[in-house]
Amino acid sequence: MSNLSGPTSTLQEVQALLVTLESWVMRLGDEIDSAEKEELLQFASDLHAAKGHLSELFNEVQSVLTEHLGHLAVPVTVDGATVEIKSGSPRKTWDHKSIIEDVSKRIVDSSVDLNTGEVIKSPTDMIREALQFAGISYWKVTKLKELHLDADDYCEVGDAKKSLVIRRDK
């Protein structure tokens, strides 16, 4: 018998309970009028705590597996998924000013024909090329307004969302 048979069985039970919970949540909108506001907010808080606990548990399993397995030469296919171990280093506190200076200089330098000295890329082409080196996933709506640009003209706008912000006591 495997060392994981107990935890695997327990996880299967948890998944079955989550399906039951999901069914209740799907009906929640119909029952909200009769439920107490505090009870609903407590449920959301408890669910958030469970999510956090599950996330911590996954992080621990991930840490143990990556430490003991090290590197997998190829992804491993398991029931319903492919698992691989990738490595990378977190990068924080970037020196944005210096890197944009260096990226810009190299792009400008590569934009000059060495034989004629002619600039062969437009400023727009150079900016577009520079943006390929940055991981921009959004535009700053307020800053665009300063240029009299409406962000909504440049993107697909979804429905407005409201979110619960839950901060757990440590």
My answer on whether 77 and 128 are in the same domain is no
What would the pLDDT profile of 134-157 be if each residue is shown by its tens digit? 887 888 989 989 989 999 998 889
Q: Which range of residues forms the domain containing residue 73?
A: 5-83
Domain assignment present for residue 166? The answer is no
- Count how many Cα atoms sit within 13 Å of the Cα of residue 138 in the half-sphere of its side chain: 5
Q: What pLDDT, on the 0 to 100 scale, is given for residue 77?
A: 87
My answer on whether 18 and 78 are in the same domain is yes
Q: What is the DSSP pairing of strand 76-78 with strand 81-83?
A: antiparallel
Secondary structure letter of residue 151 according to DSSP:
G
Domain assignment present for residue 170? The answer is no
Domain assignment present for residue 78? The answer is yes
Spatial contact of 104 and 123, defined as CB atoms under 8 Å apart? no
My answer on whether 139 and 69 are in the same domain is no
My answer on whether 16 and 71 are in the same domain is yes
Mean pLDDT (whole number) for 154-168 = 78
Domain assignment present for residue 91? The answer is no
List beta partners, residue 112. 119
Domain assignment present for residue 58? The answer is yes
Domain assignment present for residue 167? The answer is no
> Rounded to an integer, what distance in angstroms lies between the CA atom of residue 24 and that of residue 29?
10
My answer on whether 10 and 76 are in the same domain is yes
Closest CA to 120 of 130, 112, 109, 132: 112
Q: What pLDDT, on the 0 to 100 scale, is given for residue 1?
A: 60
Q: What pLDDT, on the 0 to 100 scale, is given for residue 162?
A: 65
Q: How many domains does the chain have?
A: 2
Chain mean position to CA 128 = 24
What would the pLDDT profile of 15-60 be if each residue is shown by its tens digit? 999 999 999 888 887 777 666 888 888 999 999 999 999 999 999 9
My answer on whether 100 and 126 are in the same domain is yes
Closest CA to 99 of 123, 125, 124, 135: 135
Question: pLDDT tier at 114 (50, 70, 90 boundaries)?
Answer: very high
Confirm whether pTM is higher than 0.75: no
What would the pLDDT profile of 11-23 be if each residue is shown by its tens digit? 999 999 999 999 9
Secondary structure letter of residue 152 according to DSSP:
G
My answer on whether 40 and 77 are in the same domain is yes
Q: % helix / strand / coil in the chain, to the nearest 5?
A: 55, 5, 40
Helix ranges (DSSP H) in 32-156: 37-69, 96-110, 123-131, 141-146
Mean pLDDT (whole number) for 103-118 = 94
Q: What pLDDT, on the 0 to 100 scale, is given for residue 73?
A: 79
